[in-house]
Amino acid sequence: MGCQTLHLNPQFLYNAPNTRRFSLQPNLKLLKTTSLSSNNLNEPLSTATINQTQNPTTHSSNVNFKTLGDCKLGISRYPDFDYNASGGAGSGTATKLSDGQVYVEFDVKKLSIPPLSTATTTFLGLPLPPFLKIDIVPVAFQGEINQESGKVDLKFIAEFCFSVGSLYKARPLLVETVLTSEESKGKMREGRGERMDGDGKCRLVGVATVEPINDLFMDTFLSLPTECLANLNAVISFSTTE
């Protein structure tokens, strides 16, 4: 037995900027075209016109994501876990939408987030028992970032896989939320993030509803359905590509 990953296609969950499900809609502008009249059909087109037509200007770059220490994770009405996520990292692409606004998409196959374990996590001041582990398996991570204001809104979908040594492995808990630098508020849980500073450092929060997984122990222990809160300290940086 192991953590069985649900084969979700992020394209159906959060598509390209003009077809996304949740309300992070960019202000897209229609490209204005100029028709050629019969009077100028025989006139040669300038090199600039040809280049503009065949090679429209694109603004793309690489984006990098790193998780830091001083994070928190909470579920149900239990106190929050203190979580050191140092070492987590991922990369992806960023496409300019408008002044300062970019759409980013991370490669979840290369996105790693440290598990909750005795080495990374404490609960009520005590480390998690050595045999308890919660793996985080990203399924989708994409959204919009305003490089001028520092505002971040990233759709995050992941499976949380609980295990107790080799004795017990629960079905994955599917968590879907928007990690934001603003405020995230549910019925039970809430948090407020911090916008990116000049070094790309930010705090991202997100409240999600966790549904039952048809596992009697987990459903009862966590009082599913319930809410969970992610509070991540992170750094986001960009590098230009040709």
CATH number of the domain enclosing 65: 2.40.160
pLDDT at 134: 96
Residue 152 in any domain: the answer is yes
Residue 47 in any domain: the answer is no
Taken as a whole, the chain contains a residue count of 242
Residue 75 in any domain: the answer is yes
Distance CA 158, CA 108 (A): 10
Would you say residue 222 has pLDDT above 60? yes
Residue 10 in any domain: the answer is no
- Provide the whole-model pTM: 0.75
Residue 32 in any domain: the answer is no
pLDDT at 149: 97
Q: Is 211 exposed, middle or buried (0-12, 13-18, 19+ CB in 10 A)?
A: middle
Q: What percentage of the chain carries pLDDT values higher than 70?
A: 75
Residue 31 in any domain: the answer is no
**What Cα–Cα distance (Å) separates residue 211 from each residue in 75, 185, 224?**
12, 17, 6
Residue 218 in any domain: the answer is yes
Residue 27 in any domain: the answer is no
Contact (Cβ atoms closer than 8 angstroms) between residue 145 and residue 102: yes
| Residue-wise pLDDT tens digits, 189-210 | 999 999 999 999 999 999 999 9
Mean per-residue pLDDT of the chain? 83
pLDDT at 3: 56
Domain total of the chain = 1
Residue span of the structural domain in which 67 resides: 59-240
| Residue-wise pLDDT tens digits, 89-139 | 999 999 999 888 999 999 999 999 999 999 999 999 999 999 999 999 999
Mean pLDDT of 58-87: 93
